[in-house]
Amino acid sequence: MVNNYIIETSKENTDIAYTEINSIMENYKSFSILFTVDNYIMISGDYSDLKDSAFINYISLVIDETDDYKNFNKKIPDGRFFVRVSGRNKTETEYFENEIGRVLNGYGRISFRNPDFIIRAVYINRWYLCILKYEKNKKEFESRRAPLRPFFSPVSLHPKYARYLINTSFTKPGDTIIDPFCGTGGILIEAALMKRKIIGNDSSLNMVMGTKLNLKYFDIKDYKIYNDDISHLNISRKVNAIVTDMPYGRSSGIDNHEINDLYMESFKKFSDILIKNGKCSVIINDKKFLTYAEDYFDIIKIVPVYQHKSLIRQFVILNKIN
């Protein structure tokens, strides 16, 4: 029997959440998407490959669906539980949670401190009765933010965006990724925790040393870090994917003329070191730089992400032309 699950994504950017989940689906082929509504996605199949997602908050097994919650099937597992409602106004939530608990014969079984399972009742034009199977550990994510590492830079990427880049690189555990502008190593940390083999590079020796310090802090021992300009980077084997936050603006210390040369050299080098059909998942500041990629890559997807009032960054997935 194939199970259906409701995914509840972060509401901050549904486009980036959908892109990540679609990439995981195409890469692993372990589930299919049945429908999407706002920040809800229903899938059919195995949800386990989604647990490394950056933008999924909850995954719940669907056990019943109905137009009226009063008609929910009362055959839920034995044990203690509590109910959480999603998809209704906050002012209605407590009422529906109490009502659904009563419908499910929860008297004497409701436990918030030590439940055996958690019921999620999700309203998406109709009611879905679900059992929570996965909840993102937000504290764990936040614990890897740049200011909490031994070495950091103010422009370091948040772990959720680093993880998104890896998930949209179409790699699997055991594959090799390289971050050719690794900075303080945030992308490499997330990739290693997701069981990718990691290679880093940065033209700044200070950043290379800082990356090594951060990797040691997270007990990551298996890696290779280079200290080269991108044009001189020479690695011993081709990689499955390139995942990086491209240099930009004042943070790069490069003027406008040099930045154009850098992008031109970078995309050529990316093509050289990638395997056949390899992917790049990169962040750039301006889509005009993609003109330097046209001879080597097809564009799969571009997702604009607002970083703050004056900065929109482009999250780009590229496929190598062979």
Shortest CA distance to 20 belongs to which of 155, 136, 186, 179?
136
Q: What is the pLDDT of residues 177-199, one digit of tens each?
A: 999 999 999 999 999 999 999 99
pLDDT of residue 155: 81
> What's the full length of the chain, in residues?
322
Domain range annotation of the chain = 4-136, 142-320
Q: What is the pLDDT of residues 208-220, one digit of tens each?
A: 999 999 999 999 9
pLDDT of residue 249: 58
Asked if 169 and 241 touch (Cβ cutoff 8 Å), the reply is yes
Degrees to nearest 5, angle at CA 301 with 297 and 305: 125
Q: Which of 152-166, 253-267, 287-301 has the lowest mean pLDDT?
A: 253-267
Domain at 4-136: CATH code: 3.30.2130.30
For the chain, state the CA radius of gyration. Answer: 22
Average pLDDT (160-169) is: 97
How do strand 176-179 and strand 197-201 relate by DSSP bridges?
parallel
Residue type, 296: Y
Asked if 35 and 41 touch (Cβ cutoff 8 Å), the reply is yes
Judged by phi (left if over 0) then psi (alpha if -120 to 50, else beta), residue 45 lies in left
Asked if 9 and 21 touch (Cβ cutoff 8 Å), the reply is yes
Please report the sign of the dihedral spanned by the C-alpha atoms of residue 294, residue 291, residue 250, residue 230. Answer: positive
Under the banding of pLDDT at 50, 70 and 90, the label for residue 105 is very high
Rounded to whole angstroms, how far apart are CA atoms 281 and 292? 15
Asked if 191 and 242 touch (Cβ cutoff 8 Å), the reply is no
Q: Token pair of 235, please?
A: 């690695």
Q: Which helix (H) or strand (E) holds 224?
A: strand 223-226
Q: Is 110 exposed, middle or buried (0-12, 13-18, 19+ CB in 10 A)?
A: middle
Q: Which CATH superfamily is domain 142-320 in?
A: Vaccinia Virus protein VP39 (3.40.50.150)
Q: What are phi and psi of 190, to 5 degrees?
A: -65, -40
Higher per-residue confidence, 257 vs 317: 317
Count of beta carbons in the 10 Å neighbourhood of residue 117: 15
Q: What is the pLDDT of residues 14-49, one digit of tens each?
A: 999 999 999 999 999 999 999 999 999 999 999 999
Q: Is 118 exposed, middle or buried (0-12, 13-18, 19+ CB in 10 A)?
A: middle
Q: Tokens 């031109």 label which residue?
A: 264
Under the banding of pLDDT at 50, 70 and 90, the label for residue 311 is confident
Rounded to whole angstroms, how far apart are CA atoms 75 and 105? 10
The answer on pLDDT for 234 being more than 70 is yes
Q: What are phi and psi of 314, to 5 degrees?
A: -105, 120
